Amino acid sequence: MNQNCIDACLGRFGSRKGAAYLKNDGKDLSMIANKSIDFIFSFDSLVHCDLDIMEAYVSQLRRILKPNGFAFIHHSNLGQYFKNGRRVKNVHWRAENVSGNDMIELCIKNGLYCVSQERVQWASTTLNDAFSIISHRHVSDRRETIVFENYGFIEERENICRLSSLYHPAAK
């Protein structure tokens, strides 16, 4: 939606083979060809989008994902609390009307399959965020979405960051 974001990506990744930078209106993915995407990765941006935006994007995933493609979508889970009348502190301006269950339902409604979902604490005492893994629904996939509530996510993240320094080329 913002040319500054496109310019920043071009400046950082512009020379990468196969990279494309597309600007849209915040809801429409019509510029992406049918069945052209192997993997969609969205981290730390859609957590701020309300349910109508999430629905607009999810409704287009089936069309743009290749038959064996997957999407990793990081989204809000605050709706889990607000929809049940529980007011919680909204750390980092998460969408208050999106929950993990909403994402699972949007997938079903659009002929997709939410394979798994990890609900995590993101600088909060609540499970305010979620990571959903989405694919095309296959007839043989009859199991329900695996949902994992991870109250230790931030500690895990910090530990992985510490460990990753062992594998950095400069650490040798």
For residue 53, the surrounding DSSP H or E stretch is: helix 51-64
Range name among 77-86, 147-156, 163-172 with the lowest pLDDT average = 163-172
Q: What 3 state SS string does 79-101 have?
A: HHHHCCCCCCCCCCCCCCCCCHH
46-68 residue pLDDT tens: 999 999 999 999 999 999 999 99
Mean pLDDT, the chain, whole residue set = 90
Q: What residue segments make up the domains of the chain, in order of their start?
A: 1-31, 36-171
Q: Is pLDDT at 39 greater than 90 in this prediction?
A: yes
**Looking at domain 36-171, which of 1.10.3470, 1.10.150, 3.40.50, 3.40.720 is its CATH number?**
3.40.50
Would you state the pLDDT for residue 144? 87
